[in-house]
Amino acid sequence: MKGYVAVTDSGWYEHLRARPDSRDVNFWRPSARTLRLEVGTPFLFKLKAPHHAIGGFGYFAGFSVLPDWLAWETFEEANGVDSLAALRSRLSRIRKGAGIERDPAGRIGCCLIAETVFFEPERWIATPSDWKRNIVVGASYDLSSGEGARMWTECLAQAADRAPDTRAVHEQEERYGKPTTVVPRLGQRIFRITVLDAYDRACAVTQEHSLPVLDAAHIVPYAS
């Protein structure tokens, strides 16, 4: 099974670690460049220098390119910041440091991550011994062997210690068994973006494309 180890801003991690209700989060990117992963792929948060450790994980539930205001409106503090202004400020700082052009429409890449778990600093997991320090975005890892398996096993063990009933961990006797891809449970934030993308950012009834007035809702069959 493949997993993805994403280089993570420490401020993003700290903000979300302090919010235990942040199960569905937006792992945003300063450009609109797409990240293609299979839904259910384990998504590990590798902290930047000077930490060089795994600070938590979740499951990849999709990718969307969104205007920054919609990313904030949908995820709010699950963006890892406390305001839209703070999001834009951090985006600007990262773009400047990396020489990334701002999208003319203010769009950013959004990795939708479900069922996240964040570890306390004393429980951080060692970065793979073969991790290359010149990796600035992230890298795929085989979680069934070598350092990938070691890292993933420790992540699951940490998640089990934090919340024994989490869906990220199977029954105790299966915890260290063969890695399998899971279908992550989608919260309302990810559900909204998934539905908007499925309907090409248009109302299913009126075909209205004005994002500020669109909403996503469950359709419940009516039986008389």
For each of the domains in the chain, give its residue range(s) and CATH number, in order of start: 2-185 (2.30.130.30)
Q: What is the pLDDT of residue 185?
A: 64
Q: What is the 3-state secondary structure (H, E, C) of 86-115?
A: HHHHHHHHHHHHHCCCCCCCCEEEEEEEEE
Phi and psi dihedrals of 28, rounded to 5? -85, 160
- Rg of the chain's alpha carbons, rounded to an integer? 18
The answer to whether the beta carbons of residues 44 and 54 sit under 8 Å apart is: yes
pLDDT tens column, 25-62: 999 999 988 999 999 999 999 999 888 899 999 999 99
The answer to whether the beta carbons of residues 117 and 160 sit under 8 Å apart is: no
CA distance 224 to 222: 6
Q: DSSP strand E in the chain: where?
A: 2-8, 25-29, 42-47, 53-67, 107-118, 125-126, 138-142
Q: What is the pLDDT of residue 219?
A: 46
* Encoded amino acid at 147, one letter: E
Alpha carbon of 26 to those of 9, 48, 114, 152, 165: distances in Å? 13, 18, 9, 21, 23
The answer to whether the beta carbons of residues 29 and 111 sit under 8 Å apart is: yes
pLDDT tens column, 137-169: 999 999 999 999 999 999 999 998 765 444 444
Q: Which two tokens stand for residue 133?
A: 């320090």
pLDDT band at 194 (very low <50, low <70, confident <90, very high): confident
Question: Which residues have a Cβ under 8 Å from the Cβ of 75 and sit 6 or more positions away?
Answer: 24, 25, 26, 189
SS3 70: helix
Q: Which two tokens stand for residue 60?
A: 């990849």
Statement: the pTM of the whole predicted model exceeds 0.85: no
The answer to whether the beta carbons of residues 40 and 180 sit under 8 Å apart is: no
Q: What is the mean pLDDT of residues 76-105?
A: 94
Question: Which residues have a Cβ under 8 Å from the Cβ of 105 and sit 6 or more positions away?
Answer: 67
Q: What is the pLDDT of residue 186?
A: 63
